[in-house]
Structure 1
Amino acid sequence: MGGNRVKLANRLNLFGVAALLALPANASAETARSLQREFPKLETAKSAINLRELQSGGVPRDGIPAILDPQFLPVSEATELGSDEPVIFLSGTCGAYAFPYRILIWHEIVHHDQCGVPVAVTFCPLCNTSMVFDRRVEGVVLSFGTSGRLRHSDLVMYDHQTESLWQQFTGEAIVGRQVGKTLAAVPARIESWQRFREEFPDGRVLVPPSWGRSAYGRTPYEGYDSAPSPFLFQGRMPRGIDPMARVVRVGTRAWSLAWLRKNSPVETMDGLRLEWREGQNSALDRALISRGRDIGNVRVTREGADVAFSVDFAFAYRAFYPQGELVK
C-alpha cells in the first residue's frame, strides 16, 4: 500500500490533492481551536459530532477551490471529452447541463442555477460520492466552499454565510449555527458523455474556469478505486463486501453495483427501478479518465421520473449508514 500511496501522491495537483494523499492514515484530528483559526465565524459549541472525527485533508480552507461562477459551452462545441467519460447532469425546462468529472475531480463543488433553483453539484473522490443539493435553507441561498477537512474520508463543505460545516455524503450540517438542517438532494443522472450528448444535443457542458491550473482530463487519484483500503479512514470496514466496491445508494438503502450489473433491471416493492448499462469510465482508475475501466451507467427512477441517488464506495456507505440495508 505504501508504494501505491507514493505513486498517487506524486501525481500532479496544483491545488494540493497530492498533499492529501501523502498524509498518513492517522492524520491528526481537529479541535475547536484549530477550526476557528480558519473559520472565525464557526460556532464550534454547536456540533452534532465529536470534533475529533474531523481530520485535516492536507489542504487549507478553499485549498481545493469551488467553482462559483460556472461557464458552459454548447454540446456541439465541446471536443475534449472522451465518449465514455463520466458526467453528472441536470435537465429541465431551461435545458440540460452536464458537469464532467474531469473538472469536478479538481474542484469538488460547482455552483449552478438550474431552472431557477440554486444548486451545488458536488463530488468527493475519496468516497466516489456525487450529490446535487438545493442551496436554499429556510429561504436563504447559501454558497459553499471546501473546508479542507474530511470525516469518514468524505468531503466536509462549509457555507460562506455562517461558516457552518456540512457533510457532503448526507447534506447535513454537522458543526455550527446550521446544525439540525439538511440540504435537499436534487435528482441528477450520472452517465457517459456520449449518452448525454445523444439525448440532449442542444445541451450545455461545464468548461474549466479561466483561472484553473489543473490537468483537466487526468486524475490525481490514479489506481485509487483498486486500492486495498481507503485513505484517511479509521472506521470499521464493511463485512461481506470489498471496502472499495461501488454501491448504488438511494436514501439509506444500497445495492452492490456488481449485483445490479448481473440483475439489471431491478424493481423494488416501493416502485424504484434501477438499471445498469455498460459504457462509462471510472474517474479513479487510469491516469487519463478517458481510459479508465468500464464501470457502467446507472439510472434510478420511480414511475419514469429520476430519483436522487449516488454511487459510493462500500466503506463510506457503511460508515454513514451502519444499519442500512445493503443488497450485495
Structure 2
Amino acid sequence: MRLPVTPHVVPLFYSLDEYAQQGVSGGPGKEGIPAIDTPQFVSARSAESFLRPEDIVFGVVLNNDIKAYPQKILVWHEIVNDRLGHEKVSVTYCPLTGTAMGFKRGETTFGVSGRLVNSNLLMYDRATNSYWPQILGTAVSGPFKGKSLEEFSVIWTTWGRWKQRYPETAVLSENTGYIRNYHRDPYGSYHPLSGYYAKGSSLLFPVLHRDRRFDSKAVVLGARTREGAIAFKKHSLRAKKIMEGSLGDKQYTAVYDPVLDTGYLYKNPDGKRFIYEKGHYTHADRQWEARELPLEKVNAFDAMWFAWVAFYPKTDTYE
C-alpha cells in the first residue's frame, strides 16, 4: 500500500509505545466523528451565504489549488479526505488543541479513531489501521509505526482575510452528506472567545507534561525539526512582526503576515536582518511579502500551548 512517508524526522520526547499506551477515549467511538470523504466545494461568492468575515477558515494553496475549509464545518468532522491538484491529501483539525494540519495520504484515507493523545486527535489510516497523533504526524502503532507523513502548510485565518487575498478560492460546502448544526460550535466560540477556547479554561483530557511558561490556551506558532522544537508566542509575533530564534546552532526567523494574521518560519543560517515596513519585509534594499522571504521555509502551525508543550516539553520558546 502506497503512503508518502519517511522515517520520522520530528523529535520524539516519549517512546512510540508510550504515546500509544496513553491514548484515551474522547467520547465518540471509532468513526463516531465522521470524516468527510466526498467533499463538495462552492465559490467564494456562494460561501458568503454561510460565512461571516470573522469566521475561522483553514486555507491551503497547493498544486495550483486554492481552498478554504471552514472551522465551523471541521469542528464536527475533524478530517477532510480531499485532492489538491494531482495529490490525494487529508486536511485535519483538532478543536481540543487548536491545530489545523495537512498531510499527503497516498492510496489510503484517514478517519477519526475516537481516541486522543495529549488531548490531540488520534487519526488512523483505513488501509493499515496505523494510528497517528495529528501533532506528531508519526505513526505510534500499526504497520507504519515510526514513519512520518509528508506535510503541507495549512493557514489558520478568517474568511474575510482569506477572501481578500484569494478571491478565487473554493470553499468547503455545508453539503457534507451529514446532518449537523454548522452554526453551533460544541466547544465554545472564537468570536467572542469563550468556552473551552478561552484563556484559563480547563483541559478536558490528561496530558503527559504541563508547563507554565504561557497560559495553557495561548496560541504559539510551532515547528519541529531534526534539531528539536521551537515555538513563538503568536500574540508577540503579531506585535513585533519579526522574531529571531535558534535551535542549537541553527538560526530561525519568524515573520508576521498582516493580511492573513498568520506567521511564517524560515531557516536563516546567515542571520539575514529584515526590517518591517508597511506590510513588507526589506533586506538589502529589496522587499518581500511575509510568505516569500528569500530563505528556506519551515512548516510551522498554530497550536494551543498546553498541547504543543505536552508533545515537545523541551521546546525552545520566544515571546
Normalising by structure 1, we get a TM-score of 0.74
What stretches of structure 2 of length at least 5 have no aligned partner? 1-14, 189-194, 267-290
3-state SS of 1:326 partner: strand
Distance in 1 separating the partners of 2:121 and 2:57 = 19
Match of 1:304 in 2: 292
* Match 2:309 to one of 293, 298, 318: 318
Distance in 1 separating the partners of 2:111 and 2:56 = 23
Deviation for aligned residue 1:234: 4.0
* Match 1:249 to one of 204, 217, 222: 222
The answer to whether 1:236 aligns with 2:178 is no
What stretches of structure 1 of length at least 5 have no aligned partner? 1-45, 279-295
The answer to whether 1:157 aligns with 2:117 is no
Q: 1:213 to 1:315 in 2, by over 3 A?
A: same
- Count of aligned residue pairs for this structure pair: 262
C-alpha contact (below 8 Å) 2:57/2:156 kept by paired residues: yes
Q: Counterpart amino acid of 1:52?
A: Q
Q: 1:202 to 1:50 in 2, by over 3 A?
A: closer
Distance in 2 separating the partners of 1:196 and 1:318 = 29
Q: Counterpart amino acid of 2:75?
A: I
The answer to whether 1:101 aligns with 2:71 is yes
Distance in 1 separating the partners of 2:164 and 2:82 = 23
Distance in 2 separating the partners of 1:254 and 1:64 = 30
3-state SS of 1:107 partner: coil
Deviation for aligned residue 1:197: 1.4
3-state SS of 2:41 partner: strand
Deviation for aligned residue 1:310: 1.5
Match of 2:153 in 1: 187
3-state SS of 1:275 partner: strand
Q: 1:202 to 1:211 in 2, by over 3 A?
A: same
C-alpha contact (below 8 Å) 2:35/2:111 kept by paired residues: yes
3-state SS of 2:75 partner: helix
**What do you get for the CA RMSD once the two structures are aligned?**
2.2
The answer to whether 1:224 aligns with 2:188 is no
Superposed CA offset, 1:269-316 (max 9, x none): 7454420548xxxxxxxxxxxxxxxxx821315471765221111111
The answer to whether 1:203 aligns with 2:191 is no
The answer to whether 1:134 aligns with 2:104 is yes
Q: Counterpart amino acid of 2:23?
A: L
Q: Percent identity?
A: 31
Deviation for aligned residue 1:74: 1.1
* Match 1:263 to one of 229, 240, 252: 240
Question: Which structure has the highest strand share of the two?
Answer: 2
Distance in 2 separating the partners of 1:51 and 1:93 = 34
* Match 1:64 to one of 11, 14, 33: 33
Question: Which structure has the highest helix share of the two?
Answer: 1
Deviation for aligned residue 1:261: 2.5
Match of 1:122 in 2: 92
Normalising by structure 2, we get a TM-score of 0.76
